Structure 1
Amino acid sequence: MLGAAGLFTDGNTVAAAAVLTACVACAVVNSPLVFPSPLGAEEARRRSAADGRPVIYRRPGRPYRRRLRFRLGRDARRAHWLDIWRDPAAAAAVRAVADENETVPTVVLPDGRARVSPDAVRVRELL
Protein backbone atom coordinates (compact mmCIF):
# COMPACT_ATOMS: atom_id res chain seq x y z
CA MET A 1 0.00 0.00 0.00
CA LEU A 2 2.83 2.39 0.82
CA GLY A 3 4.42 1.55 -2.54
CA ALA A 4 1.24 2.59 -4.30
CA ALA A 5 1.13 5.84 -2.31
CA GLY A 6 4.75 6.55 -3.24
CA LEU A 7 4.09 5.90 -6.91
CA PHE A 8 1.01 8.12 -6.79
CA THR A 9 2.90 11.04 -5.23
CA ASP A 10 5.60 10.65 -7.89
CA GLY A 11 2.88 11.11 -10.52
CA ASN A 12 2.87 7.52 -11.75
CA THR A 13 -0.86 6.89 -11.31
CA VAL A 14 -1.06 3.86 -13.63
CA ALA A 15 1.61 1.94 -11.70
CA ALA A 16 0.05 3.06 -8.40
CA ALA A 17 -3.35 1.75 -9.51
CA ALA A 18 -1.78 -1.58 -10.57
CA VAL A 19 0.00 -2.01 -7.22
CA LEU A 20 -3.15 -1.06 -5.31
CA THR A 21 -5.26 -3.50 -7.37
CA ALA A 22 -2.77 -6.31 -6.67
CA CYS A 23 -2.87 -5.54 -2.93
CA VAL A 24 -6.67 -5.56 -2.85
CA ALA A 25 -6.83 -8.82 -4.83
CA CYS A 26 -4.38 -10.45 -2.42
CA ALA A 27 -6.42 -9.24 0.56
CA VAL A 28 -9.65 -10.59 -0.92
CA VAL A 29 -8.19 -14.00 -1.77
CA ASN A 30 -6.85 -14.42 1.76
CA SER A 31 -9.69 -12.73 3.63
CA PRO A 32 -11.53 -14.68 6.33
CA LEU A 33 -14.59 -12.59 5.43
CA VAL A 34 -14.64 -14.01 1.91
CA PHE A 35 -13.46 -17.49 2.91
CA PRO A 36 -14.41 -18.32 6.49
CA SER A 37 -11.84 -19.78 8.83
CA PRO A 38 -11.66 -23.57 8.84
CA LEU A 39 -13.48 -25.88 11.22
CA GLY A 40 -12.08 -28.81 13.15
CA ALA A 41 -11.99 -32.17 11.35
CA GLU A 42 -14.74 -33.78 13.41
CA GLU A 43 -17.04 -30.76 13.15
CA ALA A 44 -16.49 -30.54 9.39
CA ARG A 45 -17.29 -34.24 8.92
CA ARG A 46 -20.43 -33.85 11.02
CA ARG A 47 -21.57 -30.80 9.06
CA SER A 48 -20.72 -32.44 5.75
CA ALA A 49 -22.89 -35.43 6.61
CA ALA A 50 -25.73 -33.11 7.62
CA ASP A 51 -25.63 -30.61 4.74
CA GLY A 52 -24.08 -32.70 1.93
CA ARG A 53 -21.24 -30.26 1.26
CA PRO A 54 -17.72 -31.63 0.68
CA VAL A 55 -14.74 -31.10 2.96
CA ILE A 56 -11.66 -29.56 1.35
CA TYR A 57 -8.38 -30.10 3.16
CA ARG A 58 -5.75 -27.43 2.56
CA ARG A 59 -2.47 -25.97 3.79
CA PRO A 60 -1.89 -22.22 4.13
CA GLY A 61 0.31 -20.49 1.62
CA ARG A 62 -0.08 -23.08 -1.14
CA PRO A 63 -0.52 -21.41 -4.55
CA TYR A 64 -2.76 -24.23 -5.82
CA ARG A 65 -5.16 -23.67 -2.91
CA ARG A 66 -5.34 -19.96 -3.65
CA ARG A 67 -5.90 -20.65 -7.33
CA LEU A 68 -8.63 -23.18 -6.51
CA ARG A 69 -10.42 -20.77 -4.17
CA PHE A 70 -10.14 -17.96 -6.69
CA ARG A 71 -11.50 -20.12 -9.54
CA LEU A 72 -14.37 -21.36 -7.40
CA GLY A 73 -15.32 -17.80 -6.47
CA ARG A 74 -18.48 -17.68 -4.37
CA ASP A 75 -18.87 -21.45 -4.73
CA ALA A 76 -15.87 -21.85 -2.41
CA ARG A 77 -18.16 -21.01 0.50
CA ARG A 78 -20.22 -24.11 -0.31
CA ALA A 79 -17.47 -26.36 1.06
CA HIS A 80 -15.99 -26.90 4.51
CA TRP A 81 -12.29 -25.91 4.44
CA LEU A 82 -9.81 -27.52 6.84
CA ASP A 83 -6.21 -26.48 7.50
CA ILE A 84 -4.13 -29.65 7.93
CA TRP A 85 -1.38 -27.74 9.74
CA ARG A 86 -3.77 -26.59 12.46
CA ASP A 87 -5.63 -29.87 12.90
CA PRO A 88 -3.71 -33.16 13.27
CA ALA A 89 -6.95 -35.11 12.65
CA ALA A 90 -7.33 -33.33 9.31
CA ALA A 91 -3.73 -34.17 8.36
CA ALA A 92 -4.36 -37.81 9.27
CA ALA A 93 -7.51 -37.86 7.12
CA VAL A 94 -5.53 -36.58 4.12
CA ARG A 95 -2.75 -39.12 4.66
CA ALA A 96 -5.36 -41.89 4.81
CA VAL A 97 -6.63 -41.12 1.30
CA ALA A 98 -3.41 -39.83 -0.33
CA ASP A 99 -1.05 -42.80 0.11
CA GLU A 100 0.35 -41.46 3.40
CA ASN A 101 1.18 -38.09 1.80
CA GLU A 102 -0.22 -34.72 2.84
CA THR A 103 -1.23 -33.79 -0.70
CA VAL A 104 -3.59 -30.84 -0.77
CA PRO A 105 -6.10 -29.83 -1.74
CA THR A 106 -7.90 -33.05 -1.03
CA VAL A 107 -11.67 -33.07 -1.41
CA VAL A 108 -13.75 -35.57 0.57
CA LEU A 109 -17.40 -35.98 -0.31
CA PRO A 110 -20.07 -36.68 2.31
CA ASP A 111 -20.21 -40.33 1.19
CA GLY A 112 -16.47 -40.72 1.94
CA ARG A 113 -15.14 -40.68 -1.64
CA ALA A 114 -11.98 -38.58 -1.93
CA ARG A 115 -10.31 -36.66 -4.74
CA VAL A 116 -6.66 -35.69 -4.35
CA SER A 117 -5.58 -32.49 -6.15
CA PRO A 118 -8.67 -32.19 -8.36
CA ASP A 119 -8.94 -29.37 -10.84
CA ALA A 120 -11.29 -26.49 -10.19
CA VAL A 121 -13.83 -27.67 -12.78
CA ARG A 122 -14.13 -31.04 -11.02
CA VAL A 123 -14.46 -29.39 -7.58
CA ARG A 124 -17.20 -27.10 -8.88
CA GLU A 125 -19.07 -30.19 -10.13
CA LEU A 126 -18.73 -31.73 -6.66
CA LEU A 127 -20.15 -28.63 -5.02
Structure 2
Amino acid sequence: MTRRWQPAAFMVAIGVLGGFWIGSYGGLVFFLVMVAVAVVVSPPAFPRSVTDAEARAAQAADGRPIIYWRPGCPYCLRLRGSLARRAGRYHWVDIWSDPEAAASVRAVADGNETVPTVVTVGESFVNPSPQLVRSLN
Protein backbone atom coordinates (compact mmCIF):
# COMPACT_ATOMS: atom_id res chain seq x y z
CA MET A 1 0.00 0.00 0.00
CA THR A 2 2.78 2.46 0.85
CA ARG A 3 4.47 1.85 -2.51
CA ARG A 4 1.43 3.34 -4.23
CA TRP A 5 1.92 6.61 -2.34
CA GLN A 6 5.69 6.92 -2.83
CA PRO A 7 5.55 9.26 -5.86
CA ALA A 8 3.16 11.64 -4.09
CA ALA A 9 5.18 11.55 -0.86
CA PHE A 10 8.35 12.24 -2.84
CA MET A 11 6.76 15.32 -4.43
CA VAL A 12 5.70 16.67 -1.02
CA ALA A 13 9.21 16.05 0.38
CA ILE A 14 10.76 17.92 -2.56
CA GLY A 15 8.28 20.73 -1.93
CA VAL A 16 9.22 20.97 1.75
CA LEU A 17 12.97 20.89 1.09
CA GLY A 18 12.76 23.27 -1.86
CA GLY A 19 10.46 25.58 0.05
CA PHE A 20 12.93 25.89 2.92
CA TRP A 21 15.84 26.31 0.54
CA ILE A 22 14.15 29.02 -1.52
CA GLY A 23 12.54 30.70 1.47
CA SER A 24 9.97 33.49 1.70
CA TYR A 25 6.98 33.62 -0.66
CA GLY A 26 8.82 31.88 -3.49
CA GLY A 27 9.39 28.90 -1.22
CA LEU A 28 5.73 28.83 -0.27
CA VAL A 29 4.68 28.96 -3.92
CA PHE A 30 7.13 26.15 -4.77
CA PHE A 31 5.77 24.04 -1.90
CA LEU A 32 2.16 24.58 -3.00
CA VAL A 33 3.00 23.68 -6.60
CA MET A 34 4.68 20.46 -5.47
CA VAL A 35 1.69 19.58 -3.27
CA ALA A 36 -0.59 20.13 -6.28
CA VAL A 37 1.60 17.80 -8.36
CA ALA A 38 1.48 15.24 -5.53
CA VAL A 39 -2.33 15.36 -5.58
CA VAL A 40 -2.38 14.82 -9.34
CA VAL A 41 -0.06 11.78 -9.24
CA SER A 42 -1.66 10.22 -6.15
CA PRO A 43 -3.83 7.11 -6.45
CA PRO A 44 -7.13 8.94 -5.72
CA ALA A 45 -6.63 10.99 -8.92
CA PHE A 46 -7.61 7.86 -10.82
CA PRO A 47 -10.95 6.05 -10.79
CA ARG A 48 -11.27 3.37 -8.13
CA SER A 49 -8.95 0.48 -8.89
CA VAL A 50 -10.22 -3.06 -8.87
CA THR A 51 -8.28 -6.31 -8.81
CA ASP A 52 -7.29 -8.11 -11.97
CA ALA A 53 -9.82 -10.86 -11.29
CA GLU A 54 -12.64 -8.36 -10.71
CA ALA A 55 -11.75 -6.44 -13.87
CA ARG A 56 -11.67 -9.59 -16.01
CA ALA A 57 -15.03 -10.75 -14.62
CA ALA A 58 -16.56 -7.33 -15.24
CA GLN A 59 -15.07 -7.19 -18.74
CA ALA A 60 -16.62 -10.55 -19.53
CA ALA A 61 -19.99 -9.12 -18.50
CA ASP A 62 -19.83 -5.63 -20.05
CA GLY A 63 -17.00 -5.76 -22.63
CA ARG A 64 -15.34 -2.55 -21.39
CA PRO A 65 -11.54 -2.32 -21.70
CA ILE A 66 -9.20 -2.83 -18.75
CA ILE A 67 -6.50 -0.22 -18.18
CA TYR A 68 -3.52 -1.36 -16.13
CA TRP A 69 -1.69 1.55 -14.47
CA ARG A 70 0.57 2.44 -11.54
CA PRO A 71 0.83 5.57 -9.37
CA GLY A 72 3.42 8.10 -10.48
CA CYS A 73 3.46 6.94 -14.10
CA PRO A 74 3.45 10.05 -16.33
CA TYR A 75 2.03 8.12 -19.28
CA CYS A 76 -0.84 6.82 -17.12
CA LEU A 77 -1.46 10.34 -15.92
CA ARG A 78 -1.53 11.62 -19.51
CA LEU A 79 -4.00 8.90 -20.48
CA ARG A 80 -6.18 9.54 -17.43
CA GLY A 81 -6.22 13.27 -18.14
CA SER A 82 -7.10 12.82 -21.79
CA LEU A 83 -10.00 10.52 -20.97
CA ALA A 84 -11.44 13.13 -18.57
CA ARG A 85 -15.04 12.21 -17.71
CA ARG A 86 -14.87 9.03 -19.79
CA ALA A 87 -12.30 7.50 -17.41
CA GLY A 88 -15.06 5.85 -15.39
CA ARG A 89 -16.09 3.82 -18.44
CA TYR A 90 -12.97 1.67 -18.12
CA HIS A 91 -11.83 -0.86 -15.54
CA TRP A 92 -8.68 0.56 -13.86
CA VAL A 93 -6.25 -1.89 -12.26
CA ASP A 94 -3.26 -0.73 -10.22
CA ILE A 95 -0.39 -3.17 -10.89
CA TRP A 96 1.39 -2.15 -7.67
CA SER A 97 -1.53 -3.21 -5.50
CA ASP A 98 -2.26 -6.50 -7.31
CA PRO A 99 0.53 -8.97 -8.19
CA GLU A 100 -1.83 -10.83 -10.55
CA ALA A 101 -2.33 -7.60 -12.50
CA ALA A 102 1.43 -7.12 -12.80
CA ALA A 103 1.67 -10.68 -14.14
CA SER A 104 -1.08 -9.96 -16.67
CA VAL A 105 0.83 -6.92 -17.92
CA ARG A 106 4.07 -8.89 -18.18
CA ALA A 107 2.22 -11.53 -20.22
CA VAL A 108 1.28 -9.01 -22.93
CA ALA A 109 4.28 -6.64 -22.69
CA ASP A 110 7.14 -9.05 -23.44
CA GLY A 111 7.90 -9.65 -19.75
CA ASN A 112 7.94 -5.96 -18.82
CA GLU A 113 5.59 -4.09 -16.50
CA THR A 114 4.97 -1.33 -19.04
CA VAL A 115 1.95 0.80 -18.24
CA PRO A 116 -0.49 1.93 -19.29
CA THR A 117 -1.49 -1.34 -20.86
CA VAL A 118 -5.02 -1.61 -22.22
CA VAL A 119 -6.67 -4.99 -22.67
CA THR A 120 -9.86 -5.44 -24.67
CA VAL A 121 -11.77 -8.64 -25.30
CA GLY A 122 -9.75 -9.42 -28.43
CA GLU A 123 -6.45 -7.56 -28.19
CA SER A 124 -3.95 -5.75 -26.00
CA PHE A 125 -2.19 -2.40 -26.39
CA VAL A 126 0.98 -1.40 -24.55
CA ASN A 127 1.27 2.36 -23.97
CA PRO A 128 -1.44 3.21 -26.53
CA SER A 129 -2.28 6.72 -27.63
CA PRO A 130 -5.20 8.38 -25.83
CA GLN A 131 -7.06 8.63 -29.14
CA LEU A 132 -6.85 4.85 -29.57
CA VAL A 133 -8.15 4.22 -26.05
CA ARG A 134 -11.06 6.65 -26.52
CA SER A 135 -12.02 4.80 -29.72
CA LEU A 136 -12.20 1.45 -27.89
CA ASN A 137 -15.22 2.36 -25.81
Assess same fold via TM > 0.5: yes
TM-score where L is the length of structure 1: 0.75
Greater CA radius of gyration, 1 or 2?
A: 1
Deviation at 1:27, TM superposition (A): 3.4
Q: 2:101 maps to which residue?
A: 90
Structure 2 residue identity aligned to 1:45: R
Q: Please identify which structure carries the higher helix content.
A: 2
Deviation at 1:49, TM superposition (A): 1.2
Alignment length, in residue pairs? 116
Q: Does 1:71 align with 2:82?
A: yes
Two-structure CA RMSD over aligned residues (Å): 2.6
Q: After alignment, is 22-31 or 54-63 more displaced?
A: 22-31
Deviation at 1:62, TM superposition (A): 0.6
Q: 2:129 maps to which residue?
A: 119
Q: 1:13 maps to which residue?
A: none
Q: Is the 8 A contact 2:47 2:87 kept in 1?
A: no
Unaligned runs of 5+ in 1: 11-15
Deviation at 1:39, TM superposition (A): 0.4
Q: Is the 8 A contact 1:29 1:69 kept in 2?
A: no
Q: Is the 8 A contact 2:42 2:71 kept in 1?
A: no
- Map 1:1-127 to 2 at 5 A: 7=25, 27=39, 30=42, 32=44, 35-109=46-120, 111-127=121-137
Q: Give the Cα–Cα distance (whole angstroms) in 2 for the partners of residues 26 and 72 of structure 1.
A: 20
Structure 2 counterpart SS, 1:37: coil
**Stretches of 4+ aligned residues off by more than 4 angstroms:** 19-26, 28-31
TM-score where L is the length of structure 2: 0.70
